[in-house]
Amino acid sequence: MAGVTTQAPTPTPDGTAPDATPPTWARYVAIGDSFTEGLWDPYPSDDGSPAPAGTESTAKQRGWADRLADTLSVRRTAAGAPALEFANLAIRGRLLRHILDEQVDVALSMQPDLVSLVGGGNDILRPQADIDVLSARLEEGVAKIRATGADVLLGTGFKAGAGLSWTRGRVGQYNANIWTVARKHGAYVLDLWGLDPLFDLRMWSDDRIHLTPEGHRRVADAGLVGLGLEPDDAAYDIALDPLPAQAFVARARANAQWARTHVVPWVQRRIRHTSSGDGRAPKWAEPTAWPPAGDAR
């Protein structure tokens, strides 16, 4: 928190072993879009069983940021420190300007000492996206957060395949700028581009834009490594065994079904200038000792 002295672990961009020192951040606030909200990773049912299929839009979502908070808090308490306080202000469908204009000041009012800022993916999907403008706005947000003394965790874009492979050039340019911004301002980076298991459709939900629970789990581990800490699972970045090649006809049918179910509604929202996040409030709007009392999530 502002005014609280912390000694954050040293990032390891050169691939050296992560720091095993327990994390010292006391208050973590996550901001962003559906990726950080955790879409398609609903919290388990009250009895601990997995949430029923199809609850990705109605149930409270978990996601990599909540999972990261879980580990940071467990490691803090194991070291004898109070539990981490955590808030997640991310809302699905938000463009980068919305994240910066609507969420940064709210996050800073909570006096965090760690903020994750991951956004820009929704912008890159739009034909008129200007990567240099996006990058400049991102840098303004990072500078504003760092000026308070808080640490920042950025996230690169994914190495997309299949129907989204056309975004690779844009994402690569944006990622290069993210690493530059991080170096200039002393931010940490969650390297999603280099996370090989994510280049596998089994890590992606039916809409092929949001991760499955397993994908979010691996991203949370990548977040720990990005912060210079040891992952919970040392094999988090090991690619899955390849599946047999899918027949052309089956692949074409699956792609057509995906387009009807997910692409068409997305295009319709663009035409209507609406967002999947319209009217939604943050799921964890106030810093909360993590996990919540009684784990009431």
Burial (Cβ within 10 Å: 0-12, 13-18, ≥19) of residue 205: middle
Instruction: Output the pLDDT for position 131.
Output: 96
| Token pair listed for 10 | 């040293």
Using the structure block, give the residue that is written with the tokens 């490594």.
Answer: 225
* Rounded distance between C-alpha atoms, residue 217 and residue 204, angstroms: 12
* Rounded-to-integer distance, Cα 266 and Cα 274, Å: 10
Amino acid letter for position 119: G
pLDDT at 9: 42
Neighbours of 122 (CB within 10 A): 22
- pLDDT (0 to 100) of residue 239: 86
Q: Could you identify the residue written with the tokens 């699905």?
A: 92
The token duo for 48 is 């601990």
pLDDT at res. 85: 97
Of 218, 182, 172, 151, nearest in space to 1 by CA: 151
At position 245, the amino acid (one-letter code) is: A
Chain CA centroid to CA 215, Å:
11
**Residue 50: burial class (beta carbons within 10 Å; 0-12, 13-18, 19+):** exposed
pLDDT in tens, the chain (297 residues): 433 333 344 444 444 444 555 568 999 999 999 999 998 788 876 555 656 555 555 567 899 999 999 999 999 999 999 999 999 999 999 999 999 999 999 999 999 999 999 999 999 988 889 999 999 999 999 999 999 999 999 999 988 766 667 778 899 999 999 999 999 999 999 999 999 998 887 887 767 677 889 999 999 999 999 999 999 999 999 987 777 766 666 655 666 565 556 554 555 555 565 666 556 889 999 999 999 875 556
What is residue 274's predicted lDDT score, i.e. its pLDDT? 61
Residue type at 130 in one-letter notation? D
pLDDT of residue 10: 42
Nearest to 232 by CA among 28, 68, 58, 9: 68
64-76 in b/e form (b: 16+ CB < 10 A) is: bbbbbbbbbbbbb
Q: What CA–CA distance (Å, rounded) separates 180 from 176?
A: 6
Residue 52 confidence (pLDDT) = 58
CATH number for 27-240+247-295 (one of 2.70.98.30, 3.30.360.10, 3.40.50.1110, 3.30.499.10): it is 3.40.50.1110
Please give the sequence-ordered ranges of beta strands (E in DSSP) within the chain, or none if there are none.
27-32, 85-88, 114-118, 151-155, 188-190, 284-289
Shortest CA distance to 119 belongs to which of 95, 145, 143?
A: 95
Q: Which of 104, 105, 25, 37 is nearest to 65 (CA)?
A: 37
Q: What is the pLDDT of residue 104?
A: 98
Q: Give one DSSP letter per residue of 170-211, joined into a string.
A: HHHHHHHHHHHHHHHHT-EEE-STT-GGGSSGGGB-TTSSSB
Of 25, 35, 33, nearest in space to 151 by CA: 25
| Confidence at residue 133, expressed as pLDDT on a 0 to 100 scale | 96
